[in-house]
Amino acid sequence: MVLQAQEGQLTTSAVRVLVATAVPAERDAVARALGLPGVDVIAAGVGPALAAASTATALTRAALEGAPYGLAVSTGIAGGFAPHAPVGSLVVADEITAADLGAETPDGFLPVTELGFGTVTHRPPESLVRDVVSATGARPGAVLTVSTVTGTAVRAARLRERHPTALAEAMEGFGVAEAAAAHGTPVLELRAVSNPVGPRDRAAWRIGDALAALTEAFGKLAPVLEGWHPHDR
């Protein structure tokens, strides 16, 4: 379901913006903060495949209606790699990487790019990442997309070894980025950290705090979305 942001304190955005979360709780946390016409917030579903399909559907529909989106944003809560992205912090992706898209070999993991096909990384516009950092205080770094959430210290360490700049992992960013790339649409990923990447300790999760941080972040991000243009790369 698409939520049209309520008209509020700001003027019409220069570009239409599609914000894709995984679940309704994240969608609602974002929608509470935005007062921009031209910004639509959807709950695209969990995992890269469903996120890609839902995002592609929304992008295609907008294009066919003659009002294409100029930016796609993947957002929601995420696991953070301690101590680089502690619980409660914000992370903005300077690269969106599919961390488990590839093959296991006797010598270790190989991404599909080393197998000779596909892509595993999309890079958001540098100027937009800088603006998000300035507006929200988010930490810039790689955000990994995984199909299986990390549940052990060993896997967390392996991911950081393969991706030294990784700050967080989530399950949808790469799917949103793939759909956006197919439409020639720039992409952004912003995450609020709800738990550490590693052993699953539900008592340590702070989902409510992370959703509140997401709402606060998008309140600060609204002027950035309003003023950004696709040529600002």
Residue 68 dihedral angles phi and psi, to the nearest 5°: -65, 155
pLDDT above 50 (res 6): no
pLDDT of residue 202: 83
pLDDT above 50 (res 13): no
15 within 8 A of 69, measured Cβ to Cβ: yes
pLDDT, tens digit (0-9, with 9 covering 90-100), for 146-194? 999 999 999 999 999 999 999 999 999 999 999 999 999 999 999 999 9
* Residue 110 binned pLDDT confidence (cut-offs 50, 70, 90): confident
pLDDT of residue 12: 41
Here the tokens at position 85 are 């992205």
Mean pLDDT of the region 52-72: 96
Q: What is the mean pLDDT of the chain?
A: 90
3-state secondary structure 67-119: CCEEEEEEEEEEEECCCCCCCCCEEEEEEEEECCCEEEECCEEEEHHHHCCCC
Measured in whole angstroms, the distance separating CA 193 from the mean position of its chain's CA atoms is 12
pLDDT above 60 (res 8): no
- pTM (2 d.p.): 0.90
Here the tokens at position 127 are 């100027």
pLDDT, tens digit (0-9, with 9 covering 90-100), for 193-218? 999 999 988 888 899 999 999 999 99
pLDDT of residue 3: 40
pLDDT above 50 (res 2): no
pLDDT, tens digit (0-9, with 9 covering 90-100), for 66-95? 999 999 999 999 999 999 999 999 999 999
Buried-exposed string 41-80: b where 16+ CB fall within 10 A, e elsewhere: bbbbbebbeebbebbbebbeebeeeeebbbbbbbbbbbbb
Q: Measured between alpha carbons, how far is 75 from 10 in angstroms, rounded to an integer?
A: 21
